[in-house]
Amino acid sequence: MSTTTNGHSSVNGNGELRQRKPEAKPSVTDEGRKVDERLDKHETYEFGGPWGVTAMMVGFPILMYYLWICLWFYDGQLVFPTSFDDVQPFLTRMWAHVRDDAYPSAYAFKVYTGLIALQLTLAFVIPGYQQEGLPVPSLGYKTLMYNCNAIGCLYATLIISAALHYFHIFRLTDIIDNYGHLMSVAMIYGFAVSFGTYYFAVWRGEAIRMSGNFAYDVFMGAALNPRLGSVDLKMWAEVRIPWVIVFYLAVSGACKQYEEYGYVTPNMAFMVLATWLYLNACAKGEECIPQTWDMFHEKWGFMVIFWNFAGVPFTYVYSVVYMASHDPSKYRFSTPTYIALYATLLTAYYIFDTSMSQKSRFKMQTQGTFKFRKTFPQLPWGTIENPTFIQTAHGNRLLTSGWWTYARKPNYTADWVQSTTWGLVVGAASPIPYFYSVFFITVLVHRCGRDFERCAIKYGKDWERYCEVVKYRFIPGIY
């Protein structure tokens, strides 16, 4: 694709080169409307259909208990029955750990419910930046407004938690000390909210893209944009629950180390920094979330809800749990290794942050809703001044500038590298902290396949042209 002198160029559905102003509003064409209508109907089962999703709904909690037991009680090593005769005693031992150390205690209910109540209250009362979402086909291309106040809520949460800890009202070390109990409560919330919102959406007549199979529809969800007053529940839950807990687990681990040894290891400090960067990225760039596919396409079902309420918070930071319960000598590195680890994290974070904002802001520029928001930190190259793009016959545009020149999912690659550093931080001490990295690459490859399938239907020949212009999925020259 050639570019014009000012860097603006586009290729329309017929392959003609066009010059366009990025701020010009494209409208969805008649052809685009027909495709959108098709994409808003259930056509095929994903995730292995009803049996596949049922297996995941049963299997995820079991896997989470198993990994936690190995980490907490078996020195971070994966344990198995040693013989056929050992299967029964092995299962009995496993169950005893769940029953005795992970029962949903009243205290854990109080803590978890307290967090939900605090985050909901803050979401309602703290003023936010108003961002217009993308036109929603199922609402006749109406746009929804998003009250982006996650950053204010985050700073308020920091102040409140520091005060609670300082005045011994709620010690932050309690989070990691009650890991098993909190995880069980989080799972109960995950199931209750999934089923509750499913029935509510069906009752309100807000269900879309339904298959008619109960298990599958609970897993995929019924409503696309569930709201409680000014709060968009899907966006609220994506930022305010999982990443807040993940960050506080790291802080809790750091407090525990400090109380025990009088210092915090560079490894634990790394996890505090890594989880902070992720949480802060979601909060300071919240206005970029309405343009993501989780917001405009995925419904609010078990897959998203359970993972937000329980999966992310209680499987992504196993390294913190390991470090909080093991002697620092087990995961001590040389100075160059620490430098390499921190440098990898910061580089991956930079690409993740700027690639996400480049694409989201490009969509806002196209829609005419882009305003520069002053939150910290705003990194260089987060906005592309004169983006190149492919104008599709659907009406939408596909960005081909910035990080999006090199791959069709640069954000996934960078995000995955971050997840891998969250395991590398314990070196070879335990395999369990690598769960996030292994699980996440599986999710991203599968998600990428689902997304590209949808885009191929949505954009037809323009998608093929885009794939010719941007050849690689994750890593230029490799994949």
Cα 468 to Cα 407, 446, 456, 465, 473: the distances in Å are: 11, 21, 13, 5, 11
- Shortest distance, position 416 Cβ to ligand NDP, whole Å: 7
Residues linked to residue 293 through DSSP beta bridges, in sequence order: none
Cβ–Cβ under 8 Å, residues 258 and 350:
no
Candidates 20, 451, 460, 476: give the one binding ligand NDP (CB under 6 A): 451
- Shortest distance, position 465 Cβ to ligand NDP, whole Å: 12
Does 240 sit near ligand NDP (CB under 6 A)? no
Cβ–Cβ under 8 Å, residues 253 and 323:
yes
H, E, C per residue of 96-155: HHHHHHCCCCHHHHHHHHHHHHHHHHHHHHCCCEEEECCCEHHHCCECCEEEECHHHHHH
Does 312 sit near ligand NDP (CB under 6 A)? yes
Cβ–Cβ under 8 Å, residues 412 and 448:
yes
If the CB atoms of residues 255 and 462 are measured against ligand NDP, the closer one turns out to be 462
Does 404 sit near ligand NDP (CB under 6 A)? yes
Does 398 sit near ligand NDP (CB under 6 A)? yes
- The number of beta carbons lying within 10 Å of the beta carbon of residue 181 is 20
Dihedral sign from CA coordinates of 233, 238, 244, 249: positive
If the CB atoms of residues 232 and 415 are measured against ligand NDP, the closer one turns out to be 415
In this chain, which stretch among 5-13, 15-23, 225-233, 290-298 interacts with ligand NDP, using CB under 6 A? 290-298
Does 249 sit near ligand NDP (CB under 6 A)? no
Candidates 318, 412, 422, 474: give the one binding ligand NDP (CB under 6 A): 412
- Shortest distance, position 36 Cβ to ligand NDP, whole Å: 9
Tell me the DSSP string of 169-205. Answer: SS-THHHHHTHHHHHHHHHHHHHHHHHHHHHHHHHHT
Candidates 97, 234, 359, 473: give the one binding ligand NDP (CB under 6 A): 359
Candidates 103, 107, 199, 293: give the one binding ligand NDP (CB under 6 A): 293
Candidates 173, 369, 411, 420: give the one binding ligand NDP (CB under 6 A): 411
Candidates 181, 299, 409, 465: give the one binding ligand NDP (CB under 6 A): 409
If the CB atoms of residues 13 and 104 are measured against ligand NDP, the closer one turns out to be 13
In this chain, which stretch among 14-22, 201-209, 292-300, 371-379 interacts with ligand NDP, using CB under 6 A? 292-300
- Shortest distance, position 158 Cβ to ligand NDP, whole Å: 22
Asked if omega into 476 is within 30° of 0 (cis), the reply is no
User: Considering only residues 125-184, where is the footprint of ligand NDP by CB under 6 A?
Assistant: none
If the CB atoms of residues 250 and 312 are measured against ligand NDP, the closer one turns out to be 312
- Shortest distance, position 395 Cβ to ligand NDP, whole Å: 10
If the CB atoms of residues 101 and 294 are measured against ligand NDP, the closer one turns out to be 294
In this chain, which stretch among 83-91, 100-108, 288-296, 422-430 interacts with ligand NDP, using CB under 6 A? 288-296
Does 455 sit near ligand NDP (CB under 6 A)? yes
- The number of beta carbons lying within 10 Å of the beta carbon of residue 175 is 24
- Shortest distance, position 138 Cβ to ligand NDP, whole Å: 13
Angstrom distance (rounded) from CA 471 to CA 475:
10
Cβ–Cβ under 8 Å, residues 185 and 109:
yes
Candidates 294, 328, 333, 450: give the one binding ligand NDP (CB under 6 A): 294
Angstrom distance (rounded) from CA 321 to CA 5:
54
- Shortest distance, position 293 Cβ to ligand NDP, whole Å: 4
Non-local (6+) Cβ contacts of 186 within 8 A are: 112, 245, 309, 310, 313, 314
Buried residues in 94-129 as b, exposed as e (16+ CB within 10 A)? beebbeebbebeeebbebbeebeebbbebbeebebb
In this chain, which stretch among 3-11, 142-150, 334-342, 397-405 interacts with ligand NDP, using CB under 6 A? 397-405
If the CB atoms of residues 233 and 399 are measured against ligand NDP, the closer one turns out to be 399
Q: Which two tokens stand for residue 62?
A: 């079991």
- How wide is the angle at C-alpha 208 spanned by C-alphas 206 and 209, nearest 5°? 170
Cβ–Cβ under 8 Å, residues 93 and 65:
no
Does 422 sit near ligand NDP (CB under 6 A)? no
Query: Do the bridges between strand 17-18 and strand 231-232 make them parallel or antiparallel, or are there none, so unpaired?
Result: unpaired
Total binding residues toward ligand NDP, as defined by CB under 6 A: 17
Binding site for ligand NDP (CB under 6 A): 292-294, 312, 356, 359, 396, 398-399, 404, 409, 411-412, 415, 451, 455, 458
